[in-house]
Amino acid sequence: MTLKTLALFGLLLALVGCEDTGALTGTDAGLNADAGPAGNRQISYTPEGCAYAVTSPMVAGTAMHADEAGASPAPDHIHVSWAGPSNSTFAVNWRTGYDTMLSQVLYGTDEAAVASADGPGTGVTVQSGHSMVYGTALTFRLHEAHVCGLADGTRYFYKVGGAGHWSEVFDVATAPALASIESFTFAVSGDSRNEPSIWAETQKAINDHAVDFQVFSGDAVILGALQPEWDSFFEAASGDVSVQDVIARTPFMLANGNHDGLATNYLAQFALPQEVTPGERGEGEEWYSFDYANAHFVVLNDTSTSSLIEGAESTWLRDDLMAVDRTTTPWIFVIHHVPPYTCATAHSSDLTLRAAWQPIYDEARVDFVFNGHNHNYERSRPIRGFSTGGTEGQVQATGANGIPVNNSGTVYVVAAGAGAPLYGVDPSTTSYTHIAESVRNYVIVTIENRTMHYTAYRLDGTVLDQFDYTK
């Protein structure tokens, strides 16, 4: 950062009258702050070594500091995700007391070196991030930092905070090289709202499967603007395993649900890919995609206006899916909250989503769509196209146990109820349902080159649904 840029940033801070003046730790060009409504502002910068920009929500008290340990500097709510390539980056979010502005990550591949370090040194690197305060969270400060330039397929050890005030050491692994055929495992869950104890049980169960990362189909909390709900989400524990124990080690990639409401709290507490496409809200976190080895993941927001769903989001979705090279990336998974196909007795299938997105899924030959919103478990037979003149999906060639034959169609899964009250199911009302059960559940998927090992578990550990699918 040039002196001129630093001076400009200081001037902007003074103009908006924010209390967050002091030593800047911006390590790069592009740092800026803008005054927004009621004195709110946002920060936008390119973290050192990263090839992408980070922009905070428009909130009070955004800052880049690394020199102030307040009265409550102990980090909690620690969790990781990807805002950049899964094979060379990770992002971490955490919380401290309001007056603590230590926003640093210490990391390296040597656990002992990271554990004993109080700052950068041999084998230990420091990365500075930013912090935010907002709304009812004014007694707390939310921190975010991005680590880039990592080696692929490598386990890193890290801790967050700042000199003299570090968290415990966690470990997170980068993905194999893009297009790698190395096997990997991910978990699917959704709708943790209402019951943090069940959410914690779900995370504890997922943790037993040594997953590389998690996808979550939305409705993390009952109302996204209520910070205490998020506090419960992060602080839940089951026996000797806390939610933090799991999501501080497995990148957690989530979709916005109708209860999350794309609230500032949602945007501020998760670092997600921020490529902004026309019409997109939430500083680019509204919808996004990422690659992991030989799979492409798309996360959509379906709690929106129909004009956005049918317009800008569909345009982006089609462009994103058509750019996937299926020779090196044979697998495509889509995650969003509301199901286009369901047999639940609560919410029926969303025909707006079906009409807007299924033709794109069909064209791109999407493999699986994971949804929530209905708190149960369901898996469809392969679907592609519509009945003549109608809106019902055409069930395609179906192999043993309901799986596609030669990629004959897209499978729609509802895997939700990791806390929210269960809803009933009635498979007799549809032509496409292969299996459905009103039960708490989560899904574990292992991809091994062109073979998928799929198991849905009930929360009690029994197997609910299982198949292998090779394409």
Per the CB < 8 A criterion, the answer to whether 362 and 373 are in contact is no
**Count of helices and strands (H, E) across the chain:** 9, 29
Of 219 and 350, which has the nearer Cβ to Fe ion? 219
The distance of closest approach from Cβ of residue 33 to Fe ion in the complex, given in angstroms and rounded to an integer, is 35
The distance of closest approach from Cβ of residue 68 to Fe ion in the complex, given in angstroms and rounded to an integer, is 39
Of 248 and 416, which has the nearer Cβ to Fe ion? 416
Of 191 and 313, which has the nearer Cβ to Fe ion? 191
The distance of closest approach from Cβ of residue 253 to Fe ion in the complex, given in angstroms and rounded to an integer, is 18
Segment near Fe ion (CB under 5 A); pick from 91-99, 217-225, 291-299, 458-466: 217-225
Cα separation, 263 vs 349, whole angstroms: 25
Tokens of 129: 């991030």
Neighbouring residues of 366: CB distance < 8 A, sequence distance ≥ 6: 321, 332, 333, 334, 410
Of 75 and 417, which has the nearer Cβ to Fe ion? 417
Of 196 and 257, which has the nearer Cβ to Fe ion? 257
The distance of closest approach from Cβ of residue 233 to Fe ion in the complex, given in angstroms and rounded to an integer, is 15
Tokens of 63: 């800052």
Q: Does 375 bind Fe ion (CB under 5 A)?
A: no
Closest to 195 in 3D by CA, of 224, 227, 229, 241: 229
C-alpha pair distances (Å), 292 with each of 143, 153, 381, 441, 471: 26, 11, 26, 24, 18
Q: Which helix (H) or strand (E) holds 436?
A: strand 433-437
The distance of closest approach from Cβ of residue 232 to Fe ion in the complex, given in angstroms and rounded to an integer, is 17
Of 84 and 257, which has the nearer Cβ to Fe ion? 257
Segment 74-133, which members bind Fe ion (CB under 5 A)? Answer: none
Tokens of 250: 């497995």
Q: Does 350 bind Fe ion (CB under 5 A)?
A: no
The distance of closest approach from Cβ of residue 221 to Fe ion in the complex, given in angstroms and rounded to an integer, is 11
Segment 246-265, which members bind Fe ion (CB under 5 A)? Answer: 257-258
Q: Which helix (H) or strand (E) holds 28?
A: none
Q: What is the DSSP letter of 403?
A: -
The distance of closest approach from Cβ of residue 420 to Fe ion in the complex, given in angstroms and rounded to an integer, is 8
The distance of closest approach from Cβ of residue 350 to Fe ion in the complex, given in angstroms and rounded to an integer, is 11
Of 219 and 231, which has the nearer Cβ to Fe ion? 219
Q: Which parts of 214-334 fold into alpha helices (H)?
A: 227-235, 243-247, 264-269, 306-310, 312-322
Of 46 and 189, which has the nearer Cβ to Fe ion? 189
Q: Does 346 bind Fe ion (CB under 5 A)?
A: no
Segment near Fe ion (CB under 5 A); pick from 69-77, 304-312, 368-376, 423-431: 368-376
Instruction: Evaluate the CA torsion angle 219, 222, 225, 228 in order and state its sign.
Output: negative
Segment 131-160, which members bind Fe ion (CB under 5 A)? Answer: none
Q: How many chain residues interact with Fe ion (CB under 5 A)?
A: 4
Of 144 and 191, which has the nearer Cβ to Fe ion? 191
Q: Which amino acid is at 349?
A: S
Q: Does 219 bind Fe ion (CB under 5 A)?
A: yes
Q: Which amino acid is at 367?
A: D
Of 60 and 439, which has the nearer Cβ to Fe ion? 439
The distance of closest approach from Cβ of residue 259 to Fe ion in the complex, given in angstroms and rounded to an integer, is 6
Q: Does 373 bind Fe ion (CB under 5 A)?
A: yes
Segment near Fe ion (CB under 5 A); pick from 1-9, 131-139, 153-161, 369-377: 369-377
Cα separation, 203 vs 207, whole angstroms: 6
The distance of closest approach from Cβ of residue 373 to Fe ion in the complex, given in angstroms and rounded to an integer, is 4
Segment near Fe ion (CB under 5 A); pick from 42-50, 111-119, 353-361, 367-375: 367-375
C-alpha pair distances (Å), 233 with each of 38, 77, 190, 250, 419: 29, 9, 12, 16, 10
Closest to 412 in 3D by CA, of 309, 342, 317, 331: 342
Provide φ and ψ at 464, rounded to 5°: -100, -35
The residue of the chain with the least Cβ separation from Fe ion equals 373
Per the CB < 8 A criterion, the answer to whether 31 and 9 are in contact is yes
Q: Which parts of 175-280 fold into alpha helices (H)?
A: 196-207, 227-235, 243-247, 264-269
Footprint of Fe ion (CB under 5 A): 219, 257-258, 373
